[in-house]
Amino acid sequence: MLSANDLYTALLEAYGEPRWWSDDPYMVLFQSVLVQNTSWTNVERTCEKIKGMIAPEIISGLADDELEAMIRPCGLPRSKARTIKDLTRWYIDADSSLATCRMRKELLAIKGIGEETADVILVYAFHRPSFIIDRYTRVLLSRLGCSFRSESEVRAFFEDGLGNDAAIYGYLHWLILDHCITRCRKKPECGSCPLSALCRKCI
């Protein structure tokens, strides 16, 4: 079975160093909630329209219906607005010296924050090594021939294989996303795939 490092190296060689989510940690929090059940394009378009407003002191001072109106194009405005408000309150008081597992637990206690969103926030906003496992990652691993019995085995595959470097976690998550959007789609384009030599589908 291929290693997490083989996967990272092959994707990095093929696609080059990917972008980071955002250098503004609060923007990462805000967008990680908006992107749930909608497209990234939608999130970017919405954030472009309200840029200048996306700051914890501004968002926390808005009435619920004002925030809902601002984020409506991303869908589920009522529940997302409530999550953003709760997350913003948490962020304002957050203790950045907390251990990663404790911080993850606090994030997961916020309604509307699941494991994937918590890990996005930990990696991209707080630079903590907590690997993000999403549906693209699961599909890609299965096509490559890596089988796991549980989510914790998938986590161990990446975290044991890549060490504790949050930057690598962030880059690899984005590389997997790029790869799955451009090549390893529902109908994969295996002919031009940079992973074909490693992929069970092609060997």
Residues that bind ligand SF4 (CB under 6 A): 143-144, 183-184, 188-190, 193, 195-196, 199, 201-202
Please identify, using beta-carbon distances, which residue of 4 and 81 lies nearer to ligand SF4: 4
CB 45 within 8 A of CB 35: no
Q: How far apart are CB 41 and ligand SF4 at their closest, in Å? A: 22
The answer for residues whose C-beta is within 8 angstroms of residue 132's C-beta and 6 or more apart is: 116, 119, 120, 123, 169, 173
Our CB check for ligand SF4 shows the closer of 34 and 141 to be: 141
Nearer to ligand SF4, 52 or 191 (CB): 191
The Cα angle at residue 88 between residues 83 and 92, in degrees rounded to 5: 155
CB nearer ligand SF4, residue 111 or residue 135: 135
Q: For residues 7 and 33, which CB has a smaller minimum distance to ligand SF4 in the complex? A: 7
CB of 137 to ligand SF4, least distance (A): 12
Shortest Cβ 4–ligand SF4 spacing (Å):
15
Q: For 117-123, which contacts have Cβ atoms below 8 Å and span 24 or more sequence positions?
A: 117/32, 117/33, 117/36, 120/21, 120/28, 120/32, 120/173, 121/28, 121/29, 121/32, 122/166, 123/166, 123/169, 123/170, 123/173
- Closest CB 119 distance from ligand SF4, rounded Å: 22
Q: What's the N-to-C CA distance of the chain in angstroms?
A: 12
CB of 2 to ligand SF4, least distance (A): 11
